[in-house]
């Protein structure tokens, strides 16, 4: 394996075969159907040539000459650049930088197989389809990329909500509500009704005050990515890589949905 030792690969951001195929489609076109052998035998020079061609076609500086939207072309250019940098370690390592190339990723793959053998109503399953063509939050993107199970996503959402301060506590700190008023609101809450909605319905807070409290609460909650790092499900570099891919995905979808 040369310089691509297992110890070195362990600290790389590994691509799944699905992600590698998606990146390949960006540079070579959807008509190309790459296999594991394709990534093993493709040379860096071939990858660079495909990237240069795609970069020339999508560079935003050429938007005026082509009569295209410069912002849209910038997104396509960034997507091509991301695909190139994603695939380069895979090509240089003859496919070893794919997620099937290390013992650590083999453990993840074995976990996926094990989870899929469980009953279909079990929440602890992994998604293996294509990524939905809509804007996704980072937790959703990790799930649809096959990085985490559905149960892990739910656990992460619950954890995040528990980390943020409650609306009642914020209102009490801001002298918007007293402890007695909070207790009265809790008694008036309907099933499934949020605290702020009940407070506004009962006249204890205005709609604007509720919006302000919710906004402050959202800014104080921990990023959901912290959960995956604390649980050792992803490394920092992997998390940063997936966030970048999610942002590129969302920008591309936003342009596709523009009227």
Mean pLDDT by 10 residues, the chain (259 residues): 40 62 83 76 84 84 74 76 80 66 41 44 71 87 88 86 83 91 90 88 92 83 87 88 88 75
Model confidence, pTM: 0.51
Position 254 scores a pLDDT of 81
**Separation CA 170–CA 10 (nearest Å):** 43
pLDDT of residue 198: 93
Is residue 4 within 8 Å of residue 92, measured between CB atoms? Answer: yes
Q: Output the CA angle 131-234-248, nearest 5 degrees.
A: 40
Contact yes or no for 151/115 (Cβ under 8 A): no
Residue 180's pLDDT is: 92
């Amino acid at each position: 394996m040369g310089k691509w030792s297992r110890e070195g690969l362990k600290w790389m951001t590994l691509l799944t075969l699905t992600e590698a195929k998606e990146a390949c489609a960006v540079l070579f076109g959807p008509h190309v159907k790459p296999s594991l052998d394709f990534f093993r035998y493709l040379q860096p020079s071939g990858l660079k040539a495909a990237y240069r061609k795609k970069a020339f076609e999508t560079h935003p500086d050429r938007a005026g000459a082509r009569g295209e939207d410069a912002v849209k072309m910038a997104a396509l250019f960034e997507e091509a650049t991301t695909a190139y940098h994603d695939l380069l370690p895979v090509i240089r390592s003859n496919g070893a930088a794919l997620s099937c190339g290390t013992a650590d990723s083999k453990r993840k793959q074995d976990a996926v197989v094990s989870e899929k053998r469980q009953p279909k109503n079990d929440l602890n399953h992994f998604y293996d389809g294509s990524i939905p063509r809509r804007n996704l939050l980072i937790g959703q993107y990790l799930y649809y990329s096959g990085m985490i199970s559905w149960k892990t996503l739910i656990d992460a959402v619950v954890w995040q909500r528990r980390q943020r301060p409650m609306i009642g506590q914020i209102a009490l700190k801001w002298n918007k509500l007293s402890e007695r008023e909070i207790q009265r609101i809790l008694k008036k809450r309907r099933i499934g009704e949020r605290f702020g909605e009940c407070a506004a319905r009962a006249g204890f807070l205005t709609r604007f005050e509720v919006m302000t409290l919710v906004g402050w609460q959202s800014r104080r909650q921990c990023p959901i990515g912290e959960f995956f790092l604390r649980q050792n499900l992803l490394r920092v570099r992997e998390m940063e890589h997936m966030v970048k891919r999610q942002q590129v995905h969302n920008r591309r979808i936003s342009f596709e949905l523009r009227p």
